[in-house]
Chain A
Amino acid sequence: MSARYAISDTLVLAVRALRRIPRNPDLLTAYTVQPVMFTLLFVYVFGGAIQTPGYGSYADFMIPGIIVQQMSFGGFATALGLVDDLKKGLVDRFRSLPMSRMAVLTGRTLSDIAMNALALTVMIVVGYIVGFSFDTSVGEVAGGIALCLLIGYAFSWVFACVGLLASTPEGANAFGFIAIFPLTFASSAFVPPETMPAWLRTFAEDINPFSIMVDAVRSLFVGGPGGSDILPCVAWCVGLIAVFGTFAVRRYRTAVLA
């Protein structure tokens, strides 16, 4: 009984979160115009200066990277939405209803998947326009897409925690840009780490989980090394969901209006 309610409540709240997107041009821009702009800037501004031996073109190297970066920020809508719900007293209303206690979080993170799918489609289309193409089997491409969405889902839970901890949208924003943005650059997403200074290269290749994710997706989209990163990537995602999901649910239960 309660499992059925958990699912239906999640869907009700996912629909609610999705309805907000077309009514909120800023968010829609973040999922469509922004990734297109970054893709064009990287390919045409930096593309000519960056050597990516082993890949057909810089677009082939970079598109999987920038897609994973975009996925990792997709959950930002969850952080903003939760900050808003807390501030406006909606969380109090939800917590006073006979609904599943997790649904506010599972609904939002579920809606992020839909938004990430939209962004992913936009980016693949733009990627094709600037010279990217899949070089692998249909099965691998499908696996890569699934992996992208899983990565996005994992980061949604990170952002759910950010949203529950931040007291303002600006606070959530600052976290995104200070903690996650640099992490995506100090990785194998945009340049081969071999060109970085030794200490940074060590970080990018051996420590930064973001590189594992990018390499796994890249191998599924255009081939090349990185196939061995697929399992660790899935493990990272499951780990992030477990840790941040648990924390977010706990935090939500006790969320009190400041």
Chain B
Amino acid sequence: MKIIVCISHVPDTTSKINFTDGNTKFDRNGVQFVINPNDEFGLTRAMWFKEKQGATVDVINVGLSDTESTLRKALAIGADKAIRIDMNPQDGFSVAKQLANYIKKENYDLVIAGRESIDYNGGMVPGMIAGLNNANFINNCISLEIDGANVTASREIDGGKETIESCTPLVIGAQKGLVEESDLRIPNMRGIMMARKKQLEVIPAIDTSNQTNSIEFEKPKPKGEVTLVSSDNLDELINLLHNEAKVI
């Protein structure tokens, strides 16, 4: 089985989000970049298929050379090969087109991409790859078993889950639940050393145009002070929620 995991290079979850250039650009100053958590859950599941079922696992990213540290980390976790499509990613559709083009050419059985990146939260790349390549698609995937071409998976729905049968070629939108947080792997020294020798192929982008452009960013308005209520006066809390906030 040939697996490819799409890796997005995103600010660490603890990052403070700021903007520069008149609020038109994300401020990378002092920000640590990591593998997008939803992609990392997917990569970890892919490693299971590699170890138990002999799958090959490639990782791919659309980005400039600064994203290579994140691809190297994926190699250190255990991926076989990394591919970087050399383009400054500007919208989800063009990223999906770049990925879909490569994936189609290389005939992957399973494509794993996080259900959304934690920076732009577009939630479009996995579904668009499936749509462009006419592959089966399971979003919000929280379990995945593959036997030959047969797939059994589950999807988180609002208030529960769905068990789904499908087949390869398949694209999944990965998220937490696919593996547990405790299954995530921290690269060890041997993995890091081996990752240096693994192939990181840089390929040119195909011609795509953006369908959307980011114009400007805004930060949420600062919040007013909290109104404290004594634990001996909870009637006051109920009064505030009912008469002031009007939420009960």
A and B part of one assembly: no
Chain A residues near B (Cβ < 8 Å): none
